[in-house]
Amino acid sequence: MIAIAQRVSRAEVRVAAEVVGGIDKGVLLLVAVERGDAEADADLLARKLVGLRIFPGRTPMDLSLKDVGGACLVVSQFTLAGSIRKGNRPSFDRAEDPALAQVLCQRVADRIAANGISVSCGRFGANMDVELVNDGPVTFVIEARDGALAGH
């Protein structure tokens, strides 16, 4: 599972000009579920995001989402599982089947909410317009594989 976490002063997602989710101060979390990802990866991703100290306090990276009373906007983003290594057309062989991906993406959102964070979501599988104001800018890649943090 791979996610992009962006600290935002506001973010919203629209489907066919209808706002389906939005937050003020918090984190926009773009999530891709890859083949083989499991509930443990979704749980770890949520736990990491909730505890991540990326908001300013005494230092520029001192406070967590919960500390600042921030919210999280979770948006499925299967293209993060894409590969552009060969040719000019992305391959999505690593992306999970949509039915399972939707369940795991929702699990991430549910686990974040279970920690007392206000969560809003995009609409899985829809063509979405995502608008955000990246605060900082502050952006992190979070990867969870086999129940452990991977990559960055």
Is pLDDT above 90 for 147?
A: no
Residues 78-134 pLDDT 10s: 999 999 999 999 999 999 999 999 999 999 999 999 999 999 999 999 999 999 999
pTM for the model stands at 0.95
- Can you list the domains of the chain with their CATH numbers? 2-150 (3.50.80.10)
Residues 41-77 pLDDT 10s: 999 999 999 999 999 999 999 999 999 999 999 999 9
Please, which pLDDT band fits residue 141 given cuts at 50, 70 and 90?
A: very high
Give the lowest-confidence range in 13-17, 41-45, 143-147: 143-147
As annotated, the active-site residues are 77-79
pLDDT at 152: 60
* Cα(146)–Cα(24) distance, integer angstroms: 33
Residue 143 CB contacts under 8 Å (≥ 6 apart), including other chains: 1, 2, 3, 149, 150, 151, 152
Higher model confidence: residue 5 or residue 148? 5
- H/E element, 24: none
Is pLDDT above 80 for 21?
A: yes
